[in-house]
Amino acid sequence: MQDWLKGFHGTNQAFPATEIAVKAAVALALGMLVGLEREWSNKDIGVRTFAMTALLGLLGALLGTPLLMLSGVAVLILIVFANLRGLQAARKLEATTSVALVIIFLLGVLVGQGHLFTPVACSILVAMLLSLKPQLRAFAGGLSQQEVRSALLLALLGFVIWPLLPNRFIDPWQLLQPSEAWITVVVIACLGFLNYVLLRVYGSKGIYITAILGGLVNSTATVAELVSTLSGTDLVELIIPVVLLSSVSMFARNLLILAIFAHGAVRTAALPLISMGLVAAYWIYRGRNKAAMVERDVSLNLGSPVSIKKVSSFAILFLVLQIIATLGQRLIGNAGFQIVSVLGGLFSSASTTAAAANMAMHGKVTSAQAGNAVVLTSIASALINLPIVSRRPNASQAMRELILS
């Protein structure tokens, strides 16, 4: 049998059977994954074509550059005929299917070259993008010009401005390092934009979800608007859970910021913040019968997710807090740093948390000191909601219960 196989192969080197079998199975699976989605979408180019295109890419990679180029030309010819047919039948191009077919061919080539993670990950992403067409179209259609500008501004902050900033202290007192500070500003802006997107997608599902997601963006603004909305209606009983849920979201956001920039401080801050969150959850659960789960659409007007005004305000406040906290730490010690953290929480707990985490990251304060500062600023930010509630009519009972909670 071995002699027969040697005679069959002749002077050509045989491909390893097990290796080829695995590569062919992977390429076939990737093509079928995307092809099935196209089949479900009632496209002419479906699961069999996509699977064979992936195998064609695999064979092209195995047989060398000339045949690989010839295979690529064959795929392009197939795409041209498919689009001509689409123009004749429905007067539209099959642009998405054509791009997907080219990608599957290239992923088959990668499999033939011995890659695994890249083709598998890319095929899953392609299938997701294809299957999410209705959701993506609805989301894109609902975007405002302001939101598009916010996304572009975020890209400008991260990829254009940051590389231009000096990565060194620019003052003799070693208080301001622009590049390091700007990283923090960009990360917080990204978190704010992500939270805004979540609020945009899910925030209209109900008051409770709005309170949670709004608290991630800006807990004080969320509480102010929701309390204003509820205090003049028969839903006054929802004020307490709304305020508590927004505060819990703020605790979670601050803990996340701390984990990103100074993960060592999480050990100090996690237990107090989680404990406060559990206490708030208990009071929400306790009043579940009195405050029924009313699903009413609520629209929060929190402004642009990323704007020059917001970024500038955050950056200035962040830098001021960091400078004052650093000076307080140098002149008074830990007490000065903690006092600044409490006062900062009355204005912006996110800025104060970022400043504390940044100082811990550079060794200006210990992880424990930064963790304690985040706990104090979170408490101060939660307490600032009390005057907001007290100013609303018909909210006196809610005010008393909120103080007790």
Average pLDDT over all residues of the chain: 77
- Grade residue 34 by pLDDT with cuts at 50, 70 and 90: very high
Q: If you average pLDDT over residues 235-256, what whole number do you get?
A: 80
Distance, in Å, from the CA atom of 388 to the CA atom of 356, rounded to the nearest integer, reads 26
- Judged against a pLDDT cut of 90, whether residue 96 lies above it is answered with no
User: Structure tokens of 196?
Assistant: 């805004």
Lowest mean pLDDT among 13-27, 137-151, 259-273: 137-151
How far is the CA of 103 from the CAs of 34, 68, 79, 284, in angstroms? 10, 14, 12, 50
DSSP string covering 209-273: HHHHHHHHHHHHHHHHHHHHHHHTSTTGGGHHHHHHHHHHHHHHHHHHHHHHH-GGGHHHHHHHH
Q: What is the pLDDT of residues 209-227, one digit of tens each?
A: 777 777 776 676 677 666 6
What pLDDT does 344 receive?
78
- Judged against a pLDDT cut of 50, whether residue 204 lies above it is answered with no
Look at residues 242, 234, 250 and name the one whose alpha carbon lies nearest to residue 191.
250
Distance, in Å, from the CA atom of 9 to the CA atom of 361, rounded to the nearest integer, reads 63
User: Structure tokens of 105?
Assistant: 């061919």
Distance, in Å, from the CA atom of 361 to the CA atom of 377, rounded to the nearest integer, reads 18
Q: What is the pLDDT of residues 41-73, one digit of tens each?
A: 888 788 999 999 999 999 999 888 888 999 999
Domain ranges of the chain: 2-138, 145-404
- For residue 352, what is the enclosing H or E element? helix 349-361
Distance, in Å, from the CA atom of 188 to the CA atom of 311, rounded to the nearest integer, reads 9
CA 215 to chain centre: 16
Distance, in Å, from the CA atom of 389 to the CA atom of 225, rounded to the nearest integer, reads 10
Q: What is the pLDDT of residues 279-324, one digit of tens each?
A: 888 777 765 554 444 444 455 555 565 667 777 776 777 777 777 7
Q: Which amino acid is at 76?
A: L
pTM of the model: 0.58
- Judged against a pLDDT cut of 90, whether residue 102 lies above it is answered with yes
Cβ atoms of 395 and 227 within 8 Å: the answer is yes
- For residue 167, what is the enclosing H or E element? none
Q: What is the pLDDT of residues 363-402, one digit of tens each?
A: 888 888 889 989 988 888 888 777 666 655 554 554 555 5
Cα dihedral sign, 23-27-28-30: positive
Q: If you average pLDDT over residues 340-369, what whole number do you get?
A: 83
What pLDDT does 389 receive?
62
What pLDDT does 38 receive?
87
User: Structure tokens of 211?
Assistant: 């309170």
